[in-house]
Amino acid sequence: MNIALRFINRSNDCGSSEVALFQRNVIPEFDELAIAWRVIRYCGRDCIHPFTYSTDIEIALGDDHGNFSPRISAAAGSRIVVASHPGGRPRLASASDGALHSDIEVVNQLGRGAVNVNAYVAGRLMAAKTAVAPGQKAVFQFAPVLWIGVGSQIEESRALASAVVSSANAPLDLHGIASADIAMTGGGSGESAQPFRFELENVVRL
């Protein structure tokens, strides 16, 4: 399901900061880093940046050489296995373990060779688990909740700096929403500077 969103800059920042939107895996791992799903740049005061968030997840494999497998859809409760392709390259295949859960599990069933597992939302990288060894699995579970951090030199599809992640202290819950505006306020410089704030406005529910 797609959710239509509009970012509106009502802050005193005038578009000099970069705004990163990301999600947190409900099942975090010690070495998992938050990834910048979408980065909004140069959005001036009172300007609007429309975009779409999707509750649909796609999974693809990647390697250290910049190669990626075709993406496959992965609904909540999916179990996906990494198997050998006749050509010798790893491939993804849906499987069922009969269990009732809301996780997306990607299990490496190769005889040898670790793989990188990537999760995509609306065509953009949302999360990744690197070096999943044979017999191990990557587990993803996302709630329709966006986090927003502010910083500089943020790269889309790259891990976020801890300072950006720590600045995101107000999650935006998108459960049951068809469309909404995300208004940014605060900012500025000197003694009058205020923390950035993000709030949902003009919410249309399903």
Instruction: Please check whether residues 164 and 189 belong to one and the same domain.
Output: yes
Q: Is the pTM of this model over 0.85?
A: yes
- Among residues 85, 115, 140, the one where a domain terminates is 140
Q: Domain end: 118, 140, 162, which one?
A: 140
Could you read off the pLDDT of 7-23 as tens digits, one per residue?
Answer: 999 999 877 889 999 99
Clarify whether residues 63 and 115 are in a common domain: yes
Q: Which one has a higher pLDDT value, 167 or 150?
A: 150
Do 119 and 158 sit in the same domain of this protein? no
Looking at 123, 140, 157, the residue that finishes a domain is 140
- Are 126 and 196 within one domain? no
Q: Which domain holds residue 86?
A: 57-140
| 103 and 131 fall within a common domain | yes
What lies within 8 Å, CB to CB, of 28 at 6+ separation is none
Is residue 108 located within the same domain as residue 83?
A: yes
